[in-house]
């Protein structure tokens, strides 16, 4: 029984090492895009895509029937692409364990995590109010659930949006040092 924590700890360390190696590999992607201007453009695209998904949720089970899938899928594809690109550009701060972050990155991550939590809480209240407002309409329950899912997706993008908008430009010298011959 005393060997178990040792094996689990060793497994956890191997997993963290794999995550760190994957992050080093991702850090080499899109070097010309690692500017505030590019990140802010992606943030604007992501916000518009989130709004398109929310608009699609308002049209769920309401005529004309083609509007919901068109809005939802376009918002999902556009937003998903912008979100994944933003996650690459913001680096480890959006998706890494604290052990892999330096003090500056850890501070940014804690800040945006709190902002994201607060925004998600408010979005869930909006979803609740929307659900109550449409409860007596035809398909009110599923329409409320669809709005909940749209606002939940939007809420999960908030940390990447805040980081993408507010992070300063990367220092090109630091980026070249980090690329080394690893």
**Distance separating alpha carbons of residues 43 and 39, to the nearest angstrom:** 6
pLDDT in tens, 115-128: 999 999 999 999 99
100's CB contacts (< 8 A; 6+ apart) are: 16, 19, 20, 23, 92
Residue ranges of domains in the chain: 3-170
Highest mean pLDDT among 3-12, 94-103, 110-119, 164-173: 110-119
DSSP secondary structure of 29-74: S-GGG-SHHHHHHHHHHHHHHHHHHHHHHHTTTSSSTTHHHHHHHH
Q: Cβ(37)–Cβ(140) under 8 Å?
A: no
Residues contacting 39, CB < 8 A, separation 6+:
33, 86, 89, 90, 164, 165, 167
pLDDT at residue 105 in the model: 80
The most confident of the ranges 8-12, 42-46, 89-93 is 42-46
Give the whole-angstrom CA distance, residue 26 versus residue 30.
9
Cis amide bond preceding 64, omega within 30: yes
Query: In this structure, what token pair is assigned to residue 65?
Result: 């029937």
Select the more confidently predicted residue: 99 or 125: 125
């Amino acid at each position: 029984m005393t060997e178990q924590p040792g094996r689990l700890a060793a497994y956890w360390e191997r997993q963290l090492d794999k995550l760190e190696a994957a992050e080093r590999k991702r850090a080499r992607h899109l070097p010309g895009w690692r500017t505030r201007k590019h990140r802010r453009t992606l943030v604007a695209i992501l916000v518009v895509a989130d709004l398109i998904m929310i608009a699609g949720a308002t049209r769920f089970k309401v005529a004309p029937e083609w509007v919901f899938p068109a809005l939802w899928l376009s918002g999902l594809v556009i937003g998903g692409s912008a979100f994944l690109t933003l996650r690459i550009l913001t680096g480890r701060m959006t998706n890494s364990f604290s052990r892999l972050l330096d003090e500056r990155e850890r501070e940014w991550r804690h800040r945006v995590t709190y902002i994201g939590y607060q925004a998600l809480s408010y979005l869930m209240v909006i979803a609740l109010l929307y659900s109550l407002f449409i409860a007596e309409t035809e398909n009110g329950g599923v329409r409320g659930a669809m709005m909940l899912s749209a606002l939940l997706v939007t809420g999960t993008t908030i940390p990447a949006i805040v980081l993408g908008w507010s992070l300063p430009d990367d220092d090109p010298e630091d980026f070249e040092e980090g690329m080394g011959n690893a």
